[in-house]
Amino acid sequence: MPIAKAAPGKTLLTPTDHTLIMIDHQSQMSFATKSIDAVTLRNNAALVAKAARGFEVSTILTTVAEKSFSGPIFDEIKSVFPDHNVIDRTSMNTWEDERIAVEVNAIGKHKIVLAGLWTSVCIVGPALSAIDQGFEVYFIADACGDVSIEAHEMAVQRMIQIGARPMTSLQYLLELQRDWARTDTYEETVKTSIANGGAYGLGLIYAKSMFHASEGH
């Protein structure tokens, strides 16, 4: 019989065990994205970026044909990482760019978290490639998007079938926090939740305004 222990599962993400790769959150890529509206997509991308910054997650930012075709990375991401090097590629599969491999190897984390456009091309490519090379792969489904709902859903199913683990942007933030008694990141997590956490953020505003609630205290 198994024994319960007050310890997190090994597949739960921590700030130090993974590399986040944000891929092709760019104007041209978003124009044809129909599986999620642009406002929600930009909000979720901001939430993910802020979570990564707040928890000091190793983060790689990459674009495709930025100058010649696809345009700059979302300001919601760039403003969070203003001095971060953005790797501009020609390859649709991020994992096939040697500079990405160098960055991933230099960081040295065994888990990879992906978010970007489009799900069926620019997320499936690195997800399947990384899994094939022995990495554990997660993808933030609502910080991704595709040219149709069907394209997005088929891509999600394809990645799950080979072992990638889906999650959402708010789930990503709260999984990194996990305990409200972690005071070092508490304020930043609440701030990000209020700004980009939708109805959950409104609930935090209400609770704090009406009866000075404070999680875990």
Question: Which residues belong to the active site?
Answer: 122
Measured CA to CA, the distance from residue 192 to residue 170 in angstroms comes to 10
Query: Which residues are CB-neighbours of 53 under 8 A, at least 6 positions away?
Result: 59, 80, 81
CB 214 within 8 Å of CB 208: yes
- Residue 106 sits at the vertex; the CA angle it makes with 105 and 108, to the nearest 5 degrees, is 60
